[in-house]
Amino acid sequence: MTMDQLGTSVAPEVQDSLSAASIKFEIKTESSFGRKRAYSESSSSSLVDRIPGKMRKMQFQKEPGICNCVKIPTKVTPDAEDIKEPKAEMNTPSSEEGEDDKEKEKKDILSMMECPVCLEHPREGPIFNCEHGHLVCGKCQPKIRECPICRSGNVGHRNLFAEKMLSLTLKSITLPCINHSEGCKVTGLATELHKHESICMFRKIQCPAHHRGACLWQGSLTKLYPHLSEKKCAQIIKVEDEHKSYVSVIGDFVENETVFNRASTTHWKPVMLVSRKSFRFFAYLVMSRTPAGEWYFYVRSFTGKKIVRLLRTKITVRTPSKSAASSSSSSSTSTTTYSTNPSTAEFSYTGSVNVYNDSEETVIKNGKYLFMKDAQVKQFKHDKTILEYEVQLSFNSKSKKSVD
């Protein structure tokens, strides 16, 4: 009931007494000790602050504790500022966080496929497992006879499920170069990274003398020249003028023994061909003689297959000149360009260069070599110097620009 309604329904003398009386608000609350507390005028300001917005708009008399409410609404609707709906806190991950989670899941899958032999996850199939399910990559499987984890003797089971999971995982994941442990900083998609890895300067190789059993060193390609200089397991011919050929000689055994009577295959030291431009090809000459009296001369290169296809070489064998024969020594490095004798007969091969990891059978099958018999080589021999060889190396780019 409003004050207007109250004024019309109450007798005048009662109304006068009500208007003269003071209505004191006493708000009774339970204290921590269960007692009732009355807020006086000292707390009236804080009391008003607790009243909702629309009720604060009502008129209050300035007399402490006295309210002259003209109209009291029957239904109070709070202002918008008093309505504070709690916002739902949704843990919705951002797109970057979602991508990071997916990347982590893929790397976890790859870690489960880590080969226990090389401690790397495979980049391609096949993948094998033992009878207990332990995985081994296709590169290491032919090298072992038992599982390195459980010692099971059968590691020949092909795991097609693991190969499929590997293929799906590698489609869209960024990985470091497989030679990162050697210092390579390149990263990329796994599906494209193999293009870089095939020509990476940090990839692991074997010493050029590995094929003759003289050196078992394996290491980064960037460490090849320091290794050869230190261990002397290969001859290094350096030319200052890149347009000149690499020329040297090979000698026979000392005293009464001769290579022509050997019943086993003879391998001479590989010869690294180095100039200011050709050093990046890591090309070297290989020379050998079989017990059947067959001689093979060919050039290999440590560079990638695409570049090897553009390399051309010319290998020439002839009678050693006087300067070449007198300069023949056991030194592993030669910087002398020997003069040639054009009046003598010579044999030569002009053609492509072989990839460094091609087997001798592959080299012979491809025909990229110079072949001679004992009877042909003997006509070149002079004292203990068997023959003189000359190697030319060139690079046929699209512009047909020669490198050496």
Task: Give the three-class secondary structure for 311.
Answer: strand
The tokens for 55 are: 């009720």
Backbone phi and psi for residue 189, each to the nearest 5 degrees, phi listed first? -65, 140
- Whether the pLDDT of residue 91 is over 80: the answer is no
State the pLDDT at residue 102. 76
Percent of the chain at pLDDT exceeding 70: 68
Q: Identify the band that residue 399 occupies on the pLDDT scale cut at 50, 70 and 90.
A: very low
- Whether the pLDDT of residue 142 is over 60: the answer is yes
What region does 228 belong to: left with phi over 0, alpha with psi -120 to 50, or beta? alpha
205 near 221, Cβ under 8 Å? yes
Most confident option among 17-26, 53-62, 89-98, 123-132: 123-132
Neighbour count for residue 383 (Cβ, 10 Å):
10
Q: What is the CATH number of domain 229-395?
A: 2.60.210.10
Report the alpha-carbon distance of residue 122 to residue 127 in Å, rounded. 8
The tokens for 356 are: 């460094």
Backbone phi and psi for residue 166, each to the nearest 5 degrees, phi listed first? -65, -45
221-272 pLDDT, tens digit per residue, is 999 999 999 999 999 999 887 778 999 999 998 767 899 999 999 999 999 9
Fill in the amino acid letter for 115: C
Mean pLDDT across the chain: 76
Q: Identify the band that residue 168 occupies on the pLDDT scale cut at 50, 70 and 90.
A: confident
Task: Give the three-class secondary structure for 227.
Answer: helix
Closest Cα partner for 308 from 347, 266, 370, 358?
358
State the pLDDT at residue 154. 87
Q: What angle do CA 241, 243, 245 make, to 5 degrees?
A: 90
Report the alpha-carbon distance of residue 50 to residue 311 in Å, rounded. 91
Residue 55 Cα distances to 243, 290, 373, angstroms = 101, 112, 117
In sequence order, which residues have a C-beta less than 8 Å from that of residue 195 and are 6 or more positions away?
none
Report the alpha-carbon distance of residue 108 to residue 35 in Å, rounded. 65
DSSP state of 382: B
The tokens for 154 are: 């059968």
366 near 310, Cβ under 8 Å? no
The widest CA-to-CA distance across the chain, in whole angstroms, is 154
The tokens for 265 are: 């295959």
As a whole number, mean pLDDT of residues 364-388 equals 93
Report the alpha-carbon distance of residue 68 to residue 50 in Å, rounded. 19
The lowest-confidence range among 87-91, 121-125, 300-304 is 87-91
Model pTM score: 0.62
The helix-helix angle for 95-112 and 160-169 (nearest 10°) equals 150
Report the alpha-carbon distance of residue 154 to residue 347 in Å, rounded. 52
Which residue has tokens 């080969």? 115
In sequence order, which residues have a C-beta less than 8 Å from that of residue 19 and are 6 or more positions away?
none
Q: Where in the chain is the domain with CATH 2.60.210.10?
A: 229-395
